[in-house]
Amino acid sequence: MFNEIKDKKDLEKFKRLNVTSFLSLALIIPHGYEDYRLHDCIINQSQLIDASVEHVFRTPNTLKVTFYAHNLGYKVDGVLFKPRPFMLRAFATGQRDFFFGKIESSAGHMQMTHPKKVTNMGEIFAKYKCDLRNDSMQRLVKKYVTVENLVQEGLREDIAISLCDIHFNHVAVDEDKKLYTMKYTEMYDYMQVLRTKKRTFPTLHALKSDYKIWAKSLPFELTPEQVAAIEDIRKDISSENSARRMVVGDVGSGKTMVILASVVMAAPYRSILMAPTTILANQLFEEAQKFLPNLKIALVTNKTKKINLEEFDVIIGTHALLYRDLPTSALVMVDEQHRFGTAQRNMLEKLFVDDKKRPHYIQFTATPIPRTQAMIDSAVIDVSLITTTPFTKDIDTAVIHKDDFPELLEHIKSEVADNKQVLIVYPLVEESEIINYQSIAESREYWEKNFDDVYVTHGKDKDKEQVLMDFKEKGKVLIATTVVEVGISLPRLTTVVIVGAERLGLSTLHQLRGRVSRTGLKGYCYLFTHNKKSSRLDDFTQTVSGFDIANLDLKYRQSGDLLVGREQSGRSFKWIDLGSDEVVVKEVKEEIGF
């Protein structure tokens, strides 16, 4: 096994290569090959000749050598530019040796550029780009990259054979097989490392209460995917080990009911839920009061006076929770987890660590991720996906331009007249010479002049949460930045206009679109852009699922469109494509036994 290697020189080489296993060594595949076999014809690549040196001629900047190539049956002119002294000694008139170089036809005769004398003929040798000399790397690979060593490290035998062929017998591996081999091996190596990071801790309490009687009391039926996520959590929290799960649900998928079901299953032990904004915390508090009438529920924000939290079954709050003396709780949950820093999430969880025991910990996010990413994440933390919504949203999405403004204006007037609300999202608060779009400061006068009950807010507005609450009750038009991306529930909001839409990531556009049609009303999302054509926005208008949006994000990532809100692992894959390699990742996951 790799950790039993004693050769100090080899260990130093592994260190230089940042290699920690036979598998990671095998993943440094050749970037090309040199064929040191003799051929009786020109093969249009660098090749070996069995040749006698007939003539050597030196000029100030070149060395010209005339060969007779016995395997080809004719003369070849060799030329070396700016030859070094050791090169001159390699060519002696009358000698017969093996020489290697690229042969091309020039002015009716054959010419070999930079021929070199070789001794290791008869094989195909790999060329590597790494921190070792090529011959040193070749010896290391030949010594350690064997089917036996790779299989010992858990790799499937057929993949191990194919991987060895890539190093030593590349003609046996076609491109499709090579690509599959590299994808599988890269993901296998990565997930093997990840699994070492998945740690278990004993929990404070194994939670055994059932949720089914509570679910039957609801005025609606939970969706199959809501039930599946709840069942995942039920299995987790009934264990003696502390649960760590992330529930990923699309906009409007009903994550709140999964949260409340988790509270029910945790009873009679206490639950704590942290949300990123006062508005979202208030909404969750109201939902909990409505659907958990038998539990005593507290709301904690920066404005909450000191209360005895020991008296409550459920504590819902913002990051203000981190600065309170919180009572021991068996279940800790974080909603919109990507809005908090890692340190904040860890701080909340560790507030309840009792010696070596930990509470059950569940994170929720509305930022969908590709299924392949979910399967990879599950190597470290358990993942549940909720891809469907309790009801199908009816939202028309369209790309619009300056010429479309009169028609847009008529639509807004019609919606407002029908007691519905409109959201207009601007890219800037103040005017900018760099970005060619109006800001909130430049545009608000127009909207306030032409419409009643216009509300304005942005990220730097200290009163933004109060403005949003006032708009919810009394407003008609809301002018804002992406501060409204996550969390706010506006039942009468039917239209969102996103100015400079091409500047935003697709996940952000999806979150903004998710603000409308929350209660089944007909919805409209308009993407305003100065760009005459944008295939990225056009694709977005045809896509309604957040999980498909996440795959689109990957497709367009090269154009600077990064996944919004995702914590990147710091590892970029060379072979695996998270948007399309779900099958490969699933195979690896099953092989490892996650």
Residue spans of the domains in the chain: they are 2-34+123-173, 39-118, 212-386, 395-543
Position of tokens 């007779």? 68
What is the tally of helices (H) and strands (E) in the chain?
Answer: 20, 20
pLDDT at 424: 94
Across the beta sheet with 271-274, the strand order is 297-300, 314-317, 271-274, 331-334, 360-365, 244-249, 382-386
Question: What is the distance between the alpha carbons of residues 444 and 477, in angstroms, rounded to a whole number?
Answer: 10
User: Two tokens at 438?
Assistant: 């109006």
Residues 6+ away with beta carbon under 8 Å from 570: none
* Nearest CA-CA partner of 242 in 348, 363, 355, 330: 330
pLDDT at 564: 29
Residues 6+ away with beta carbon under 8 Å from 163: 26, 145, 150, 155, 181, 185
User: Two tokens at 443?
Assistant: 């545009």
Question: What DSSP assignment string belongs to 280-312?
Answer: HHHHHHHHHHHH-TTS-EEEE-TTPPP--GGG-
pTM, 2 dp? 0.71
The CATH number fitting domain 212-386, selected from 3.40.640.10, 3.40.50.300, 1.10.260.40, 2.40.50.100: 3.40.50.300
**Thinking of the domain 39-118, which architecture would CATH place it in?**
Beta Barrel (2.40)
pLDDT at 211: 95
Q: In what helix (H) or strand (E) does residue 149 lie, and over which residues does it extend? A: helix 147-152
Residues 6+ away with beta carbon under 8 Å from 277: 318, 339, 465, 487
E strands, 328-487, where? 331-334, 360-365, 382-386, 395-400, 421-425, 454-456, 477-480
pLDDT at 558: 41
Q: What is the pLDDT along the chain (594 residues), one digit of tens a residue?
A: 787 888 888 899 999 999 989 999 999 999 888 888 898 888 878 899 999 999 999 988 999 999 999 999 999 999 999 888 877 788 989 999 999 999 988 777 899 989 988 887 878 888 899 889 888 999 999 999 999 999 999 999 999 999 999 998 877 788 899 999 999 999 999 888 887 777 788 998 999 999 999 999 999 999 999 999 999 999 999 999 999 899 998 877 889 999 999 999 999 999 999 998 888 899 899 999 999 999 999 999 988 888 899 999 999 999 898 888 889 899 999 998 767 777 777 777 777 776 778 899 999 988 777 777 777 777 778 889 898 877 777 899 999 999 999 999 999 999 999 999 999 999 888 877 677 888 888 888 999 999 999 999 887 788 888 888 899 899 999 999 887 655 567 889 999 999 999 988 888 898 889 888 877 789 999 999 998 888 889 999 998 888 888 778 767 754 332 222 333 333 468 888 877 788 898 898 888 876
Same fold: 212-386 with 395-543: yes
Name the maximum alpha-carbon separation found in the chain: 102
Question: What is the distance between the alpha carbons of residues 103 and 78, in angstroms, rounded to a whole number?
Answer: 9
Question: What is the distance between the alpha carbons of residues 567 and 185, in angstroms, rounded to a whole number?
Answer: 24
The superfamily (CATH) of domain 395-543 is: P-loop containing nucleotide triphosphate hydrolases (3.40.50.300)
Q: Give rounded-to-5 percent helix, strand, coil for the chain.
A: 40, 20, 40
User: Two tokens at 23?
Assistant: 């598998």
Distance (Å) of CA 108 to CA 53, 75, 367, 403, 467: 20, 12, 65, 65, 83
Residues 6+ away with beta carbon under 8 Å from 196: none
SS3 for 180?
helix
Residues 6+ away with beta carbon under 8 Å from 419: 492
Distance (Å) of CA 278 to CA 135, 298, 317, 338: 63, 13, 8, 16
User: Two tokens at 467?
Assistant: 């403005």
Question: What is the distance between the alpha carbons of residues 194 and 97, in angstroms, rounded to a whole number?
Answer: 52
Position of tokens 């130093």? 12
